[in-house]
A = this chain, B = another copy of it.
Amino acid sequence: MESSSAASGGSTRREATRQKLYEAAVTLIAEQGFSATTVDEIAERAGVAKGTVYYNFASKSVLFEELLRHGVGLLTASLRDAAEQTAGRGGSKVDALDAMIRAGLVFIDRYPAFTQLYVAELWRTNRAWQSTLMVVRQQAVAVVENVLREGVGNGEFSEEIDVPLTAAALVGMVLVAALDWKSFQPERSLDDVHAALSRLLQGRVSGCR
């Protein structure tokens, strides 16, 4: 029941409509915020009737919550992938972090609107989907935390580092740098941005060479 549908995800008609609605909603909400975006707008942008929105989702905020889950699912999968691939190739943990930075950048490059929206909603309190966001945030940050912990375990990283805080800081570094990239110098290449962040991660900015 429910999902089934093969890997790439969009075979039933219903699924296709939902996808269109996600895409319409994500851009509009990223631009204007949740409350300022109307259901009529979302329907129009998706090219469907308003009734269809309510046939597919119980309410505006349910649509939004499912959108969040959907997007963060993609992100965590791609981070985990990056971490595991370097592990498989016997790379160090710094390599794993570096690969995750790249994966993060690739994700943001492909889904800038989602990222925007995620950042904007993450630290809000008193909102209906607050708990959804909590769970979803923890999933993503946990992937980074795990790599850090493993690095501390095998002696690659100092034992003094504060794992949760450092993970948050790393995520923030990538997030903000990438959003700035997309907003203010979109012509730059991903490699370029990746190189700059890589340097910062490896302390080649200050301290040591």
Asked if A63 is at the interface of the complex by the 8 Å CB criterion, the answer is no
1/0 per position for A166-209, CB-CB distance to B under 8 A?
Answer: 10111111111101110111000000110111011111111111
Give the one of A34, A93, A165, A195 with max B CB within 10 A: A165
| CB of A3 closer than 8 Å to a CB of B | no
Count of A interface residues, CB-CB < 8 Å: 62
Instruction: Decide: A33 near B30, CB < 8 A? Known: A165-B180, A203-B202, A205-B166.
Output: no
- Chain B residues closer than 8 Å to A125, beta-carbon distance: 30-31
Chain A interface, DSSP helix/strand/loop, else mixed: helix
Interface residue from B31, B164, B208 paired with A185 (Cβ < 8 Å):
B164
Chain B residue numbers with a CB within 8 Å of A103 are none
> What would 12 more interface pairs be, CB under 8 Å, given A120-B120, A156-B206, A176-B176?
A33-B124, A116-B123, A157-B205, A158-B204, A165-B177, A169-B173, A169-B174, A169-B200, A202-B203, A202-B206, A203-B207, A208-B208
